[in-house]
Amino acid sequence: MQKFFVNSVQIHENRAKIMGEDVNHIKNVLRMKLEDEILLGNKNTGESFLGKIKQIQNNCVIVQILNSIKSSEPLTYIHVFQGLPKADKMEQIIQKGTEIGVSEFTPLQLERCILRLDKKDENKKIDRWQKIAEVAAKQCKRDKIPKINFVHNLKNIYEKIKEYDIVLVAYEDEKQHSLKEYLKKQQLKKIAIIIGPEGGISKNEVEELKEHGALTVTLGKQILRTETASIVMASNILYELED
């Protein structure tokens, strides 16, 4: 069953109005008909509903809401702070991370980042990345679309990471402490993970992060690509902590 997202203002009593690009997708790609059932997600609240198509118009689709659906969102909130990678790797990280269950992404400008974005390019990238997160959330029937933040540097995130139960840095020179070791020690609901770009996080950056409470972990004997590390880390966290 297909899923689409709407805002709270598009829901009135037991009716929802789907608008924008989704209308063409419903009419001309999926070729859905009146009385077909559909899944709806509220972008603002994270609620999900089962609905039935009642009207198909040129610029909107009217859906009757039948009932609420129990949330399937992970209980663990994972925020990926990702060193900006080259080319379209960030798109892959966001797409696969969304499918796994990541809740938020923040691109990081680190010492070894090759990609540098000016403000105009950054705005375009954020819009595209947010759209990729929405499409992935629809595909895997997430109740919430992950939030994609603007690019930050390390100094910008130190106040933010104080909100998390634990902050874990994937670091290739860490040989002793594993991800599993830290996950077993306490009840964790909000986790921040920090991944370097191609070339990894510099030693100076790691030391600075440690001064602000972050912990370094090894992800195993193999050195993972940056676009692989966050996916491996997030999936292992959810495997360990979710029922």
CATH number at residue 60: 2.40.240.20
pLDDT the model gives residue 243: 65
Q: What is the pLDDT of residues 136-155, one digit of tens each?
A: 999 999 999 999 999 999 99
Which tokens go with 59? 């610029």
* Residue with tokens 């902590």, as numbered in its chain: 241
Instruction: Tell me the CATH number at 122.
Output: 3.40.1280.10
Which tokens go with 94? 């966001």
pLDDT the model gives residue 163: 95
Is residue 18 within 8 Å of 58, Cβ to Cβ?
Answer: no
The pLDDT of 81-94, averaged and rounded, is 94
pLDDT the model gives residue 184: 83
Q: What is the pLDDT of residues 20-71, one digit of tens each?
A: 999 999 999 999 999 999 999 999 999 999 999 999 999 999 999 999 999 8
Lowest-pLDDT range of 39-43, 75-79, 182-186: 182-186
- The pTM of the full predicted model, rounded to 2 decimals, is 0.91
Domain containing 164 equals 77-241
**Do 98 and 119 reside in the same domain of the chain?**
yes
Confidence band of 127 (pLDDT split at 50, 70, 90): very high
**Do 94 and 29 reside in the same domain of the chain?**
no
pLDDT at 124 exceeding the cut of 90: yes
Q: To the nearest whole number, what is the mean pLDDT of the chain?
A: 93
pLDDT at 102 exceeding the cut of 90: yes
Is residue 67 within 8 Å of 49, Cβ to Cβ?
Answer: yes
What is the number of domains present in the chain?
2
pLDDT the model gives residue 11: 96
pLDDT at 223 exceeding the cut of 90: no
d(CA 54, CA 142): 24
**Do 164 and 91 reside in the same domain of the chain?**
yes
Cβ neighbours of residue 136 under 8 Å, at least 6 residues apart? 94, 95, 96, 98, 99, 142
The pLDDT of 213-233, averaged and rounded, is 92
